Amino acid sequence: MRVPIPVCFRRRAVGGRRVLIAVAALLPALAVPLAAPAAPAAANGVVVGGAPTTTDSDPWVVALASKERFGSSRSGQFCGGVAVGPRTVVTAAHCFGQEALGTADWRKLPDLRVIVGRTDLSGTAGQEVPLSDVWVNPAFDAATNAGDVAVITLPQALPDGAVIPMAGPADTAPYTAGTQAQVYGWGDTTGQGTYPQGLRTATVDVLADSVCEKAYPGNADGTYLRASMVCAGVIGGGKDACQGDSGGPLVVGGRLIGLVSWGTGCAEAAFPGVYTRVSAVSELVAQHM
Ligand code: ARG
């Protein structure tokens, strides 16, 4: 059996040194965590602290998958994505990095698919759509995590054409601190490598930029930059996106405002989730649709 493959590398400062900690898509039967989380995330938690939902009610939530690389028990899921046009899916740039795919060239993973309409990854519902093209933001900065966005073009229109509109540059209201937002994904529900079969969602609050600026002034995990990122979570922790949710949607009022990007641990009180600020990249995305 293949060794589990990391989806999301967390860089942590330990003893003053930068070390790479691979947080793997640990399939229950296959796995020994490569490193334990620094502190256990609040339990019971997409998404930590979430509840089940379905791709029937939220059909624009998609999974990125490769069974060859990530194993078949969860359809090979390793990241989330969002349908924003009939043939366009947006996700995180880091989902296409060497660390995630094991290659810098996604075409070398011939079974890479966008899975639509499959709430339960243990089943075969919906469709597995191959990718015809991928634009990875060349300005993505792996040191800060700024510009964490990629655009996938599909060879044919999605089955029911369910898409969600992106926040544009003029949409400032949904980013007001205190606004409730939904995050969606098939990622770790505990911060300890508990990967669900079903799609989950959690309600989090958009937090003031100053909260994330304080939490992330520039450490080994990244640097919070208000122009290109969104800070979201709940005071006291317990609800957050987590490993495996990357690239998935953060939604306010039927509009896509963020993409799951990074954070220190998951659902920890002092460390909110950081999302790609969609209103800052929607015009760039539109140029690649
Ligand atoms: N980088 C992770 C991934 O590839 C997502 C981490 C999000 N973390 C958080 N605490 N919100 O899936």
Distance between CA 80 and CA 90 in Å, rounded? 9
Contact 152, 89 (CB under 8 A): yes
Q: How many CB atoms lie within 10 A of CB 163?
A: 19
Query: φ and ψ at 14, to 5 degrees?
Result: -125, 125
Cα 45 to middle of ligand 1, angstroms: 14
Residue 213, helix vs strand vs coil: helix
Distance between CA 238 and CA 273 in Å, rounded? 11
Distance between CA 214 and CA 208 in Å, rounded? 10
Strand partners, 229: 276
Tell me the C-alpha to C-alpha distance, in Å, between residue 164 and each of 55, 185, 202.
Answer: 13, 15, 18
Contact 79, 248 (CB under 8 A): yes
Name the active-site residue from 58, 66, 94, 188. 94
Distance between CA 256 and CA 234 in Å, rounded? 19
**Ligand 1, atom 6, residue with closest C-alpha:** 262
Cα 19 to middle of ligand 1, angstroms: 17
What is the fold, at CATH topology level, of the domain defined by 1-35+59-289? Thrombin, subunit H (2.40.10)
Flag whether the pTM goes above 0.85.
yes
Name the active-site residue from 246, 261, 279, 282. 246
Ligand 1 atom, smallest distance to 240 CA: 11
pLDDT tens-place values along the chain, 289 residues long: 333 333 554 443 333 333 333 333 333 333 322 233 333 334 344 588 999 999 999 999 999 999 999 999 999 999 999 999 999 999 999 999 999 999 999 999 999 999 999 999 999 999 999 999 999 999 999 999 999 999 999 999 987 769 999 999 999 999 999 999 999 999 999 999 999 999 999 999 999 999 999 999 999 999 999 999 999 999 999 999 999 999 999 999 999 999 999 999 999 999 999 999 999 999 999 999 9
Cα 47 to middle of ligand 1, angstroms: 9
